[in-house]
Amino acid sequence: MKSIKPGRGPSMMGGIGSVIAALFGVFWTVMTLRMGVPFMAVFGILFVVMAIVQAVYNFRNATGKSRYSSFDITDSREEPDPLNMQFGGSVLPEERKQPAAGYCPYCGAPVDQQNYRFCPVCGEKLP
Ligand SMILES: [Zn+2]
């Protein structure tokens, strides 16, 4: 499995943006309490909590040794795609399909599998 990780520059920008968002949340909370609408202040507190979580996540990605992954790159052996199966794709992962008899499943060269244990073209072990 390979990963796509966020860049340190964009992560730092996101962290700074999250701090600004937290400050806005504090401002919102104070203003709504002063105007006498504590119901609206709840949203301000939730906003501050969300901004702090995002700030921690972004600053760790900007400065930490190991960054969190944005995307994981897998093939169907590691993790099949349920939607692909549901919408008519192969039920079995591509790699588990039975290769055509008489051909190397790795390079596609015509090979007599009775006489060869290894592909004479690419050298892979034949099934
Ligand atoms: Zn081969």
Domain boundaries of the chain, sorted by first residue: 2-72
Q: Please give the distance, rounded to the nearest whole angstrom, from the Cα atom of residue 127 to the centre of ligand 1.
A: 11
SS3 labels along 82-126: HHHHHCCCCCCCHHHCCCCCCECCCCCCECCCCCCCECCCCCCEC
Q: What is the pLDDT of residues 25-76, one digit of tens each?
A: 999 999 999 999 999 999 999 999 999 999 999 999 999 999 999 999 988 7
Q: Please give the distance, rounded to the nearest whole angstrom, from the Cα atom of residue 80 to the centre of ligand 1.
A: 25
Q: Which of 5-9, 58-62, 95-99 has the weakest average pLDDT?
A: 95-99
DSSP assignment of 38-57 equals HHHHHHHHHHHHHHHHHHHH
* Average pLDDT rounded to a whole number, residues 3-32: 97
Q: Between the CA atoms of 41, 43, 44 and 45, what dihedral angle is there, to the nearest 10 degrees? A: 90
Q: Please give the distance, rounded to the nearest whole angstrom, from the Cα atom of residue 41 to the centre of ligand 1.
A: 67
Q: Please give the distance, rounded to the nearest whole angstrom, from the Cα atom of residue 111 to the centre of ligand 1.
A: 8
Q: Please give the distance, rounded to the nearest whole angstrom, from the Cα atom of residue 94 to the centre of ligand 1.
A: 17
Per-residue pLDDT band at 82 (split at 50, 70, 90): confident
3-state secondary structure of 26: helix
Gap between the Cα atoms of 55 and 50, Å rounded: 9
Q: Please give the distance, rounded to the nearest whole angstrom, from the Cα atom of residue 123 to the centre of ligand 1.
A: 6
DSSP 4: E
